Amino acid sequence: DTGVSQDPRHKITKRGQNVTFRCDPISEHNRLYWYRQTLGQGPEFLTYFQNEAQLEKSRLLSDRFSAERPKGSFSTLEIQRTEQGDSAMYLCASSLGWGREAFFGQGTRLTVV
Amino acid sequence: QKEVEQNSGPLSVPEGAIASLNCTYSDRVSQSFFWYRQYSGKSPELIMSIYSNGDKEDGRFTAQLNKASQYVSLLIRDSQPSDSATYLCAANFGNEKLTFGTGTRLTIIP
């Protein structure tokens, strides 16, 4: 069990650029979640996958955001035309099933300048 | 809007004492509750999960759940400076996602 892995750990980008983050969940976990956390707040749900199916998206996830989980393994989160308000820690988590413990990766800290 | 409420703190506790962290939630159908510890600049780390009324102990940590009163708490015994962190309470409101509180910042004073 190597835990949830996220890449990159830090990303600085200019406003208007596109960025993509990757998450590798714990291998036997079929649920994968994306959250966003800003300073002083708890993580906010963005979207989740059960295997390769994206089953729920938050209204926080604007059209500029897209997530995929091809073949039910790793997942990517892409943000197009980044805005300064997108600056946050993007967290990926995985779990074995509904209501079970979710384990987080190290997070990707995005700074939009 | 289903919510999880926590006192943001900061909560200061002397080393060796018991730290008590509290959390209330808004929906009676909640089934699963979790406590995460988050050091500054790091990601949340799961420390306790609790699913039924009563107490659950794991080392120096005890989680307490009271569904009738809609609160969940975390006790940390023999507090150590390394326990200084933000503690996040999370609930599963009968769906797939976790809803988090804003966290309580705990400082252990040597």
Q: What is the DSSP string of A57-95?
A: E-TTS-TTEEEE-GGGS-EEEEESS--GGG-EEEEEEEE
Q: Tokens 């989680």 sit at which residue? A: B63
- Determine the length of chain B: 110
Interval B59-69 mean pLDDT = 95
- Chain B partners within 8 Å of A45 (Cβ): 97-99
Of A42, A58, A101, the CB nearest to B103: A42
Asked if the Cβ–Cβ distance from B44 to A43 is below 8 Å, we say yes
In angstroms, the Cα distances linking A2 to A6, A17, B47 are 12, 32, 18
Q: Are strands B11-14 and B104-109 parallel, antiparallel or unpaired?
A: parallel
pLDDT digits (tens, 9 = 90+) for A11-63: 999 999 999 999 999 999 999 999 999 999 999 999 999 999 999 999 888 99
Which residues is A66 bridged to in the sheet? A78
Q: CA quadruple A71, A11, B90, B58: dihedral positive or negative?
A: positive
Find which of A10, A21, A33, A45 to mutate to test the B interface (most B CBs within 10 Å of its CB): A45
Asked if the Cβ–Cβ distance from B42 to A48 is below 8 Å, we say no
| CA gap B78, B83 in Å, rounded | 10
Find which of A32, A35, A110 to mutate to test the B interface (most B CBs within 10 Å of its CB): A35
Residue of B14 and B26 predicted with greater confidence? B14
- pLDDT value at B1 more than 80: no
**In Å, how far from its chain's centre is CA A60?**
13
Q: A45 vs chain B: nearest CA distance in angstroms?
A: 7
